[in-house]
């Protein structure tokens, strides 16, 4: 009797965009695992390819289009290969993606990613078909506990606390692709994090387009206090905070709760109040500075990072100078800076007085050059200090070293003894670089000092 061994089906997931997209990909990986797939890093070996797309910026969409184009030849070589497009572009364009890219079988947006399992099962065991309704704008129920999650990290976990956005910034498609704001029940979030702690996770990052507007019977501050009490969790982070809704209570939480890290991502976008108004951000530069000053005064050493968009319609030389001035005034620890990207369906897309791309590129270069100087200066100030580092594993750049992050979210590569992922080590910072720090484990430092003393 012949004995055939079934070869496990393989899935390849390519993620574009933000941490929310990355976490959505973890959920899709969990669904695929439940359907009998294993993950592969090689698209040519896959039985299903999933593109989890982002439409926030044109560059991300161009990268996706390029990757999608390469699948045409793969589909000819492997007729049974199935290709799925998920994420924000899928939510926006729906059936249009299949019309323009006939190699695509499935389309579904972030509001209904749970459909992936239904799509796979609809064709019968081991068979995938494209004869399934594509994604629509129907909001899913907020019930992450019902979705399996295959997390890429065993130490740090992302946890969605809310979905969608009500802000309607004039340049942003998120309210149209992820829907209106909806918060998860605090009890559901607490239970998910309690289970993560039991599984050995040490750090959680709470995700939301605007965590400051999280709504429940206890509010965002109350949620942070509940999570801070969970045994086993060592660190709590959150993204993103909207400056308009940033509160005194949140400052107190960062200051008082021992597990909430001294780092906040607070997008400024522009140093010009005129441009901020055009962006529909809901605050002025002066409003932002008042809140940033409170943070810096109440929490000495706090790291503040931000987002900057340059070249927004009608941005003048003076507006750009105001943004440069803002960088010098706040001295952010790091920034994510981008050229304005016109996105279809947004108010900014039809605004007059477009800034030429060459001007946007020049202004972006000036912003990045200035910020590099500031970041290096901030990192240099840490030389000679002792930092608490959560160990992540071997360094990607030097396998002989260990890597981890400080409470202020700075990467540290260091030499050390007897430390494992998930442990917290006291690390002496010996050298600062632009994007990371170099250190030595305090125990190792003591050993070297002892040997040096004996030698003398």
pLDDT category of residue 449 using cuts at 50, 70 and 90: very low
Instruction: Look at residue 282 in the predicted model and tell me its pLDDT.
Output: 97
138-196 tens-digit pLDDT:
434 445 556 889 998 999 999 999 999 999 999 999 998 888 999 999 999 999 999 99
Give the closest residue to 224 by CA, choosing from 266, 195, 196, 261. 261
3-state DSSP percent of the chain in helix, strand and coil, to 5? 40, 20, 40
Do residues 419 and 402 lie in contact, with contact meaning Cβ atoms separated by under 8 Å? yes
Of the chain, the percentage scoring pLDDT greater than 70 comes to: 90
- Residue 125: CB atoms within 10 A of its CB come to 8
The superfamily CATH assigns to domain 386-455 is Nucleic acid-binding proteins (2.40.50.140)
Mean pLDDT of 287-298: 97
Q: How confident is the model at residue 443 (pLDDT cuts 50, 70, 90)?
A: low
- pLDDT by residue (tens digit) across 357-392? 999 999 999 999 999 999 999 999 999 999 999 999
Quote the CA–CA distance of 122 and 102 in Å, as a whole number.
20
What mean pLDDT value characterizes the chain? 89
- pLDDT computed for residue 448 by the predictor: 44
pLDDT at 75: 92
Spell out the domain ranges in the chain. Answer: 9-122, 153-261, 273-381, 386-455
Would the CATH topology of 153-261 be identical to that of 386-455?
no
273-381 to CATH, choices 3.90.700.10, 3.30.750.200, 3.40.640.10, 3.90.190.10 = 3.30.750.200
CATH 3.40.50.620 fits 153-261, yes or no: no
**Which pLDDT belongs to residue 119?**
81
What secondary structure does DSSP assign to 353-395, as a single string? SPPPHHHHHHHHHHHHHHHHHHHHHHHHTTTT-EEEEEEEEE-
């Amino acid at each position: 009797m012949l004995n055939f061994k079934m070869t496990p089906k393989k899935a390849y997931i390519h993620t574009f965009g933000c941490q929310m997209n990355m976490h959505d990909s973890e959920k899709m990986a969990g669904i695929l695992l439940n359907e009998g797939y294993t993950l592969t890093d090689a698209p040519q070996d896959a039985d299903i390819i999933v593109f989890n797309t982002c439409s926030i910026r044109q560059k991300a969409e161009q990268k996706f289009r390029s990757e999608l184009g390469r699948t045409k030849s793969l589909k000819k070589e492997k007729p049974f290969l199935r290709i799925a497009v998920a994420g924000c572009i899928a939510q926006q364009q729906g059936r249009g993606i299949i019309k323009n890219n006939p190699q695509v079988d499935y389309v579904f947006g972030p509001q209904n990613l749970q459909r992936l399992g239904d799509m796979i099962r609809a064709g019968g065991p081991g068979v995938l078909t494209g004869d399934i309704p594509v994604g629509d704008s129907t909001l899913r129920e907020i019930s992450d506990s019902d979705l399996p999650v295959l997390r890429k990290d065993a130490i740090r976990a992302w946890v969605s606390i809310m979905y969608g956005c009500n802000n309607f910034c004039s340049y942003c498609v998120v309210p149209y692709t992820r829907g209106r704001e909806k918060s998860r029940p605090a009890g559901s979030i607490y239970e998910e994090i309690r289970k993560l702690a039991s599984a050995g996770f040490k750090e959680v990052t709470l995700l939301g387009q605007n965590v400051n507007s999280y709504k429940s019977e206890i509010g965002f501050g109350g949620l942070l206090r509940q999570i801070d009490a969970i045994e086993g969790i060592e660190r709590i982070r959150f993204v993103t905070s909207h400056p308009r809704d940033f509160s005194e209570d949140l400052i107190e939480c960062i200051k008082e709760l021992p597990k909430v890290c001294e780092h906040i991502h607070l997008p400024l976008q522009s140093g010009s109040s005129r441009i901020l108004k055009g962006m529909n951000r809901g605050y002025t530069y002066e409003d932002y500075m008042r809140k940033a000053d409170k943070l810096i005064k109440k929490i000495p050493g706090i790291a503040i990072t931000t987002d900057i968009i340059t070249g927004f319609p009608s941005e003048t030389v003076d507006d750009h100078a105001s943004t440069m001035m803002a960088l010098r005034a706040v001295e952010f620890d790091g920034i994510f800076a981008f050229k304005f990207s016109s996105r279809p369906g947004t108010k900014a897309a039809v605004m007059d007085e477009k800034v030429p791309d060459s001007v946007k590129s020049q202004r972006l270069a000036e912003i990045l050059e200035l910020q590099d100087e500031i970041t290096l200066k901030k990192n240099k100030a840490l030389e000679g200090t002792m930092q608490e580092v959560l160990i992540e594993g071997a360094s990607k750049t030097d396998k002989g070293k260990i890597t981890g992050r400080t409470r202020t979210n700075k990467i540290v590569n260091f030499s050390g003894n007897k430390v494992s992922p998930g442990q917290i080590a006291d690390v002496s910072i010996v050298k600062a670089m632009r994007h990371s720090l170099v250190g030595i484990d305090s125990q190792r430092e003591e050993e070297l000092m002892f040997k040096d003393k004996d030698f003398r």
